[in-house]
Amino acid sequence: MTVPLVPHTPSLPLRYPLTRHADQVDDYHGTRVADPFRWLEDDTAAETKAWVEAQNGVTFGYLDRIPYRDALRTRLTALANFPRYSAPVVKRPWSVFAKNEGLQNQAVYYIQHEDEETPRVLIDPNTLSDDGTTRVTGLTFNKAGTRIAYMLSQAGSDWQQIRVLEVATGDPLSDVIDWVKISGIAWHGEGFFYSRYPEPSNTEAAFSSMNEDHQVYFHTLGTAQSTDVLVYRDLVNAQRFHTVSTTEDERYAVLAISDRGQGKDGNALQVMDLGAPNGAFTPLWTTFDDQMDVLDNVGDQLLVLTNRHAPNQRVVRIDPAAPDEANWVTVIAERSEPVSGMSIGGRRLFATYLKDVTTRAYVHALDGTLEREIALPGIGTAGGFEGERDATAVYYSFTSFTAPITVYAYDIATGQSTLFRDVALPFDPSQFETTQVFVPSKDGTRVPAFIVARKGVVLDGTNPTMLYAYGGFNVSLPPNFSALRVAFLEQGGVYVQANLRGGNEYGEAWHQAGMKAHKQNVFDDGIAVAEWLIAHGYTCSAKLAIAGGSNGGLLVGAIMTQRPTLARVALPAVGVLDMLRFHKFTIGWNWIADYGSSDDAEGFRYLYAYSPLHRLQDGVAYPATLITTADHDDRVVPAHSFKFAARLQEAHRGEHPVLIRIETQSGHGGSSLSKQIAEKADEYAFLFQNLDVTPVFA
């Protein structure tokens, strides 16, 4: 099947594939909405595959003509070529860590005995697929430290497979668990709990069909998955998540149940005493309006992180035998800053908070007594601080915009941090500096943003600038390091990371201010930051690019459709762009808690008002746009990007290209380093070409 091409504009040679219109109209609470590109939702159809091939032909034909594209890829490859380590996971006498030598597609997992000087390879994902797109997504020891269960993802998919290794030898066991999604690995004795969906009736549609009926099973080592015991299933509420964890001593199994498909942002809890004969899950918390996360047990009581009557979260102690809220004991009270992490190690609670989006870390006794603040290596982002109950030290990672992820060991007795894994970079990050600014949004709210640029950047309004943001799902964007970003900064680029409402930068109130009917606040915040950058001489509209992925792709789509002349370049990646149908695919119904739903009349009203797909207007000159998505993205299915690209190419009447780049064997993020580099090279090449910047390479 071939797809005919139509001219881009009379002045340019680009020709876009002609996308067929179908006679599809839906009635939403009395409003008729056309959906002519509905057929692109079928990613397995021959016509869709032909359309994808035609679109990629146009896009890569355009990118191939950019003269410095190969030089960009070479530079990005050089920048990425340095060893990178994870913090170790310790189960004495063993420790496991991940290391990428530099240009390996996937980090390799090593294991080391405390009496040995040299680690050995435990899992090398690079050997598990020809193209390096199989990755490890979770790994955990059993209580005895004799077995490790781990998860694998193929080609970037959210579908997982669980496998098991013998620790002492590294030999694989026969156990293989399929169709796992939204799951932990919760060990208990000679087996573990896990969560899965039923095997799809049509496996070809496994990357787009709706996921329902999330079940919990128990797997006994050495047995076939078909004999696993069903532990929990809800036949009434098909769109709930059910995940199980076990406490470190394996006394309790905790079942967390969320109902986000009904717009609930919290979770219920049930608990099982694994030492009791014929144990069963019993309710600990039964409503879905508050977040409840069991950290571990102290004897017969549970330590729980919750935002119940504490929007910035607190830690409480709950007795499963008397779980009424009146009996809760506050262990760590809510602070004015939001919790960014809470973990346990060495019989201590490690609490990290966000202070204007940078980390502060504290150590508490298990009764909540504050022992000390941890002196971090600088102003940036720290996380980890996990260990066994008898640990004398825990490990954490630290990073900033100009400091790569570096691992430190924290001595619990002395309170001292020491460098554990240093990082040697093939470039000098000290030539760049970070500034934090606070921008008034449309309604006066102060929105923080980090600005990263060469030292002494001249504010003459001509700097190529990339504004990146997310703004949703209670997710924060703290300082982070990217070697690939340096390729942009080296060319005089200014990178701006804005902390919009909808995230967790200032706690649950900040989150709720960017949810559901308040989502327009997020877009207003992003627009305000862009206008501030222009007003203060960092850039101008002709030199500005806006970028974001997933929910951030929605942000880009909303800004470019509401303010098409604000930025010259738009880079929506794996974006949620059809706000009327996002809940019809895979686990999209999970996002109703943040977005609302078009099935509800009020939800339809505000979703339709900003849905990027539906706000595109014929005859408008939109920014130069490179939409990116992937064929194995089963989180935000590529249909969002397909339909948006088709409508954008139809509506656009400007001189700038509007293209879609569709990666293969990849998912909701680059499935391998080589694919990440290739996509970033194309993104930067497109950006420089359309910001009229000619990069210079030493």
Residues involved in catalysis? 550, 668
Please name every residue paired with 572 in a beta bridge, in sequence order, or none if there are none: 548
Residue 109 and residue 121: Cα distance in Å, rounded? Answer: 6
Give CA–CA dist 345/412, Å, rounded.
Answer: 9
Q: Annotate 217-247 with b (16+ C-beta within 10 A) or e (fewer).
A: bbbeeeeebeebeebbeeeeeebbbbbbbbb
Cβ within 8 Å of residue 256, ≥6 positions away: 241, 242, 243, 244, 245, 267, 268, 269, 292, 293, 294
Structure tokens that stand for 282 in this block: 């019993």
Of residues 604, 666, 674, the one with CA closest to residue 641: 666
The letter for the amino acid at 456 is G
CA distance 94 to 110: 10
Note whether 517 and 606 are within 8 A (CB). Answer: yes
Across 106-265, the runs of DSSP E, i.e. the strands, are 108-113, 120-123, 134-141, 147-154, 160-166, 172-180, 186-188, 191-196, 215-220, 229-232, 241-246, 252-258
Residue linked to tokens 């530099």: 102
How far is 286 from 271, CA to CA, in rounded Å?
Answer: 11
Q: Please state, in angstroms and as integers, the Cα–Cα distance from residue 484 to each residue in 380, 401, 545, following that order.
A: 19, 12, 17
Residue pair 688/487 in contact by the 8 Å Cβ criterion? no
Q: Is residue 172 a contact partner of residue 164, using CB atoms and an 8 Å limit?
A: yes
